[in-house]
Amino acid sequence: MPKIAVILSGCGVYDGTEVHEASAALAALSRAGAEVVMFAPDKEQAHVVDHTKGAEMEQSRNVLLESARIARGAVKPLSELTSEDADAALFPGGFGAAKNLSDFGFKGADMIVDPEVERVISSFHSAGKPLALCCIAPILAAKVLGSSAPTLTLGNTGSEEDWPYQGAIEAAKSFGANMELKGVEEVCVDVDNKIVTTPAFMFNGQFHQIQDGVSAMVNELLKMV
């Protein structure tokens, strides 16, 4: 039974993990018979967003504690995760990946990646263990592994209504990543670097489309384990 580490970034699309992407990944993993262990940074969120208005709120929340909402309590500090603890690592998207796991959501191409996140991505890659990332999360692999020229997707270009975050593609290219344009239900597989990515909610799509894409990503990830 493969053991997959899922790295969360809070709870809620605008300031944490995209809940539907996480749920789709967890369901696909358990359906395939994988053991799941969940982790999140034990630190304060960059900020808290009122999800009914999209406006910042005057309060603070902890990334680990918020992630426990998705993990049903079973989440550990990311500092405890090593490449020896799991056969692969998976990063759902949501703005938490761009605000709590990195600061891409604030600084764009001048981003830095959280040191613990960088350590996990680098160590799994160095150990030859596969990585899966969806939505905006592939920007983390682009930044950390840019010197290895990973092949990734952050979705497609075209209508801003369909692809509202397509500007991230150029940022990823600037880090050294090779970017493939993919549809919401498609998967990008980098065999050499053992990285699987899918657009998820980089596309303004329906819930079932995101679920189908994330499930396909999980299936490709498990083939590499």
Active-site positions read 135
- 127's CB contacts (< 8 A; 6+ apart) are 83, 84
Q: Torsion angle of alpha carbons 28, 7, 40, 112, nearest 10°?
A: -150
Give the Cα separation of 24 and 13 in Å (integer). Answer: 14
Buried b (16+ CB within 10 A) or exposed e, 188-221: bbbeebbbbbbbbbbbebeeebbbbbbbbbbebb
Q: Would you say 100 and 41 are in contact if contact means Cβ atoms under 8 Å apart?
A: yes
- CA-derived radius of gyration, the chain: 16
Residue 168 backbone phi and psi in degrees, to 5: -65, -25
**DSSP 3-state assignment of 64?**
helix
Q: How far apart are CA 114 and CA 10, in angstroms?
A: 14
Residues whose CB falls within 8 Å of the CB of residue 173, separated by 6 or more in sequence, listed in order: 179
Comparing CA positions, the residue from 154, 140, 151 lying closest to residue 194 is: 151
